[in-house]
Amino acid sequence: MKLSETKKMVWAAFLLVLGWVLPFFTAQIPEIGKMLLPMHIPVLLGGFLLGWKYGLLLGVLTPLLRSLFFTMPVMYPTAIAMAFELSGYGIGAACLYQKIPHSFKGICLSLVGSMLIGRVLWGMSMWVLLPAVQPFTFSMFLAGAFANALPGILLQFILIPMLVYIMQKEPIPS
């Protein structure tokens, strides 16, 4: 899907707002939001569809601005750590997808790689940020990055490849 810079900016703005709005659907039960990871979906889509620059921008801005505007997630350490994590998703999805053939399998492989990159960045940032509050252990990393996030990971594996594949095959009308 070839997009002009103007269309990329419009899509990035749409995905940014989507990243702010989707968590409202799970806001009544914060544990559900932490499991379904609604902010991750627009950032991953941005990385795949708009490239690494927009993936990075969406990854950094989505959690930080949502924290400033809506006070959720809490800025320190959650939103800051999420900014590292989501920027890893956006850059990882874009860069890996650029190197791998644009097939359904390529989308899935790029998604796995970007998820690992983002989760490692989240763990490293929490390891740096959290000691001011409490020690960050390896078991906390495994629980936060994988065990508690499993429903969201599954949701991403269902939605992201399907949406990216469809949007790559069906160009956006002018």
Please give the pLDDT value at position 132.
Answer: 77
When computed from its CA atoms, the radius of gyration of the chain, rounded to whole angstroms, is 15
Q: What is the mean pLDDT of residues 92-114?
A: 95
Domains observed in the chain: 5-169 (1.10.1760.20)
Task: Determine if the pTM surpasses 0.75.
Answer: yes
For residue 19, the one-letter residue type is G
Nearest to 88 by CA among 120, 112, 54: 120
Q: What mean pLDDT value characterizes the chain?
A: 93
Determine what percent of the chain falls in helix, strand and coil, rounding each to the nearest 5: 80, 0, 20
In whole angstroms, what is the distance from residue 93 CA to residue 43 CA? 9
Read off the pLDDT of residues 73-86 as tens digits, 9 standing for 90 and up. 999 999 999 999 99
pLDDT at 173 over 60: no
Please give the pLDDT value at position 171.
Answer: 57
Read off the pLDDT of residues 115-160 as tens digits, 9 standing for 90 and up. 999 999 999 999 999 987 789 999 999 999 999 999 999 999 999 9
Torsion of CA 60, 66, 69, 75, to 10 degrees: -80
For residue 149, the one-letter residue type is A
In whole angstroms, what is the distance from residue 18 CA to residue 44 CA? 12
Please give the pLDDT value at position 18.
Answer: 97
Read off the pLDDT of residues 42-69 as tens digits, 9 standing for 90 and up. 999 999 999 999 999 999 999 999 999 9
CB 166 within 8 A of CB 1: no
Q: What is the mean pLDDT of residues 3-17?
A: 96
Torsion of CA 8, 11, 15, 16, to 10 degrees: 70
Please give the pLDDT value at position 142.
Answer: 95
